[in-house]
Structures are given as structure tokens and as C-alpha cells.
Amino acid sequence: MLRNLKQSFVSLLFVSISLGSFASLSVGSQAPNFILSDQNNISHDLSDYKGSWVILYFYPKDDTPGCTTQACDFRDAVERIIASRSTVFGVSLDSVESHKRFAEKNNLQFSLLSDQGGSVSKAYDSLNNFISFKSSKRNTFIIDPEGKIAKIYLSVKPSTHSQMVLNDLNQLQN
């Protein structure tokens, strides 16, 4: 009985941590600003992209199967994303150096932003923080030219996500 009670408590705690934080961001709200460095150690300030569409996708870890699939899916769609007058950024808690290796290995032609402290992931309600393990959740945000959140995707499927984003981006822009 005690074991079942512990399991129930841990499950409830995990669900609370996973789902409880999404109340603060919604479609139409101002996107939290950030300044983060990419794999080439170039600093990106979201406010510099005002007037443009931004796709901000969070992912758990460089060079893992699902994250590689998702990054390559965006890589294969990057020309269509650029053609839609948009910029795509991947964000995880990995270091600039880790991002550099990951980008080179997979020929990624877009910026991977290093959020080592997790502050940006937290601001976007996309931080998994379970005991001592932290990672970004697999969430994506489309940010409109005024800097407002136009679309939110939670717990996305890595292999088909970019096409869904492109379809929605096309509808939002028209």
C-alpha cells in the first residue's frame, strides 16, 4: 500500500510539474524576450526580429534520436521557412559547443540557441525540472511580427512537425 501511495504521489507530482505552468502564456500574449548565443557564438535578441515571423522550437537534448529527427525535419524545411519570411531557432539547455557539434554533424543551417541556465525555457513554460534533471520540453511557438505569440504547439511529434508549422504559418500570414 505504501509503495502504491508513493507511486501515486510521484505520478501526481510529475503531472503537476508538466502541466501546471502553461497558464501564463497564450496565443496573443507578448512573447518573452531573450538574448541567447547560437552554435557560432552569435548572440540573438528576440527584439531584433520584430517585424518578422519567428519559429521558436524547444527540444530536450542535442544528438538524441527524437531531437535529431526534429532538427533534420526543420533543416529540410528551412528554405520554405525562409521563403515564408520567417526565422527558425532551436532552443535547448545544451552548451554552445554541443550545439556546434550537433549542427555540423547534421548540416543544420539555422541557429541553435543555448539556454544553459534554463531561463528562456522557463519563460516559455518549456522547462522540465524533475528533481535534479532539467531539459527543455518539446514545444514550439510561432511569434508574429509584433512580437506576440500566434501559435503554441505542446509535446510535438518530431518527424512531421515542420510541415504542421509551415501550414499554420501560411494560414497566419494570409
Instruction: Please identify every residue annotated as catalytic.
Output: 67
**65: helix, strand or coil:** helix
Q: Which of 62, 69, 33, 35 has the alpha carbon at shortest distance from 135? A: 62
Find residue 37's DSSP bridge partners: 43, 114
CB 151 within 8 A of CB 141: yes
Render the burial of 121-143: b for 16+ CB within 10 Å, e for the rest.
bbbbbbbbeeeeebbbbbbbbbb
Find residue 128's DSSP bridge partners: 135
